[in-house]
Amino acid sequence: MLKKEKESLSKTSESIKCKVCRFEPPEFVLEAIRQRIKEFQKLGRDGYTRFKFQPFLDLEIDATTETELAFCISTANSSAKAGLRFQKMLEGRDIFSMSVMDFEELLKKSGVRFYRKKAVYIRDAIKKFHSISLPEDDTARDLLVKEISGFGYKEASHFLRNIGRENFAILDRHILEWLEIKQRNLSRKKYLEAEQKVREIASRLGKSVAELDLFIWSMKTGMVLK
């Protein structure tokens, strides 16, 4: 990296760090972040958890690893709330026997964009997921991007974070704005460079990347979702 690029990166990191440090959320937001991290950890450990989104949304969701996979596919280029509505509709259903049309109907009802294409991705991902052995290191993300249709680096990072892997950055538009990055469609190289910036800032603040992500998301949206 050139000297000017390093200096620019350092200045940007300090700028973001200062903005985060100045933000003092109320205790209920901090508690919601702690709760969400515990829910992610339980999902990764046990294969299921109950997400509680109060006081931000009057919503609780019983999630499994498979419905979380479906949720993360559903939110790509769509809203988190639409994805949550979709995941809620999956409760109590035998998702392993659901057809593409079944998923399509629920996605459409939930207001998820590109529901036809995502229905195919979700059906195929659920069928394929248990044949994939995820390594413990960062190569897990590369494997998911390779094997799961509908997963780019952001979506794979989203899923891994939501099953308790706390060192992956979910570079959605909210986080990219905070990183002062105007580009939205990042190449693998650019994604990893931006993620490293997030990791450095998180380390300086004494937070995990997962905590910092939820922290920034709450600043941008006023909510702690997932």
DSSP SS3 for 13: helix
- State which H helix or E strand residue 80 sits in: helix 80-89
Q: What angle do the packed helices 27-46 and 209-221 form, to 10 degrees?
A: 130
Q: What angle do the packed helices 115-128 and 100-110 form, to 10 degrees?
A: 130
Closest CA to 187 of 144, 160, 154: 154
Which stretches does DSSP call E strand in the chain? 48-52, 60-64
- Active-site residue numbers? 154, 172
